[in-house]
Structure 1
Amino acid sequence: MRKFAVIAFVLFFGIQYSQAQVRVSPGLRGGLNISTLTNIDDNSSKTDFYIGGLVDIRFNKFFSLQPEINYSRQGDEGRYFENGRYYSEKYELNYITLGAVAKFNFNGGGFHLLAGPSLDLKVDDNYINSRPEDFDLAIVGGVGYTLPNGLTFEARIKQGLVDIYGYDYYDNDGYYTNDAILNQVFQIGISYRFKTK
């Protein structure tokens, strides 16, 4: 019984101590999207924006987990030939993105690496002759720097994993897996974490 009381005492104060070290800070983020779609001839990147919110859960000075929710305007700019000339058109793929990035701070300072998954739910598109998939799964990676006041500058690459047209890959129709049309986004942005007690 005495051993049980000592173990319970140590666990209770260990949990209290570990919880005291965790800091939770909400924040806002936004920035520039430079997006494209892979494996499409004659297309180019499209410039747009993303905006959203975050919760920074800091476990210690080296590691934090950051759940995020964003509105992200993606797609690409395509070219087509008609009546003897080329035309360009911006193709919109707009998502609500739900992500969680792990942030690794070097020497407990402002410079960090980040990586994590993202679930993207399509809310809008301007495609006329086709219907892109309603969701995407993506992997995010990047680098950033956080100032002491909570302002952060980041550069990220986001690689989609789901073919946006949902094709079935059959060898007999000449369409192969490496022809998949995937979202690819380069992001440059800022975020701000509100200070909490």
Structure 2
Amino acid sequence: MKKYSLLIILSFYSIISFGQDIQVGIKGGLNISNTWVNVKGADLEVEDTKSRTGVHIGGLLDVNLNSWAHLQLETQFSREGDDAAYFDYINVPLIFKFYPVKDVFHINIGPQIGFLTKVEGGDEGFKKTNYAINFGLGVGSKSGFTLDVRYGLGISSFIDEDVVFETEPNSIFNGLKAYTQVLQVSVGYKFDLSSKKSDFQK
């Protein structure tokens, strides 16, 4: 996974040289998150588990590949989790954006690497990295403002595999897997770094 993560980032920087237009920006907004838990292949229902509201904020680098496709690298602080505990991550999404409505509306999808920085109550038993897939929709304006709605689904468990859990009455089990689920609503602003300006903001 670590080699794959490095490959993603290096690939992005190699693609930059082919971009027709490069923009940088900032974005932030609301998280509505929860966790999905699985034990040895069977869903485990956790009573009274509710979603948690958090925030995310960070920067982005957007490369215009052609008239219908962009590649966007982001780095963001994100507070996620559920009502039992929150998790703070530094997330690095690599987003492919496709424009079915030219220059205005886009569909986005891409992988994400998350680096755990803090867990409410302590991070013992939690993996330091988390992997997810993102997909969503977004719109932009000529002034540079953006609006995005994105759903991130964890594809790797954030719990260490060798962690043992105790439940009542006096039962012990391991093999628990837990995955993040995050809905993000973001607003942002981008400005062009290219020497040749576009007729619009991507």
For normalisation by structure 1, the TM-score amounts to 0.75
Matched to 2:103, the amino acid is G
Q: Does 1:24 align with 2:18?
A: no
Q: How big is each residue's C-alpha offset from its partner over 1:49-83, in whole Å with a ceiling of 9 and x where there is no partner?
A: 000000010012211000110001111103xxxxx
CA displacement at 1:127 relative to structure 2: 2.7
| Matched position secondary structure for 1:154 | strand
**Which residue, 140, 159, 175 being the options, matches 2:134?**
140
**Which residue, 64, 67, 76 being the options, matches 2:73?**
67
CA displacement at 1:107 relative to structure 2: 3.5
Q: How big is each residue's C-alpha offset from its partner over 1:113-137, in whole Å with a ceiling of 9 and x where there is no partner?
A: 0000010000111134943111100
RMSD, matched Cα: 2.2
| Matched position secondary structure for 1:127 | coil
User: Where does residue 184 of structure 1 map in the other structure?
Assistant: 181
CA displacement at 1:165 relative to structure 2: 1.4
For normalisation by structure 2, the TM-score amounts to 0.73
Residue segments in structure 2 that go unaligned for 5+ positions in a row: 1-16, 38-44, 164-171, 196-202
The sequence identity of aligned pairs, in percent, is: 28
| Matched position secondary structure for 1:61 | coil
CA displacement at 1:195 relative to structure 2: 2.6
CA displacement at 1:98 relative to structure 2: 1.1
Structure of higher CA gyration radius: 1
**Which residue, 83, 93, 118 being the options, matches 2:87?**
93
CA displacement at 1:193 relative to structure 2: 0.8
State the distance in 2 between where 1:152 and 1:104 align: 15
CA displacement at 1:191 relative to structure 2: 1.5
**Which residue, 128, 144, 151 being the options, matches 2:145?**
151
Matched to 1:133, the amino acid is K
Residue segments in structure 1 that go unaligned for 5+ positions in a row: 1-18, 79-90
CA displacement at 1:168 relative to structure 2: 5.4
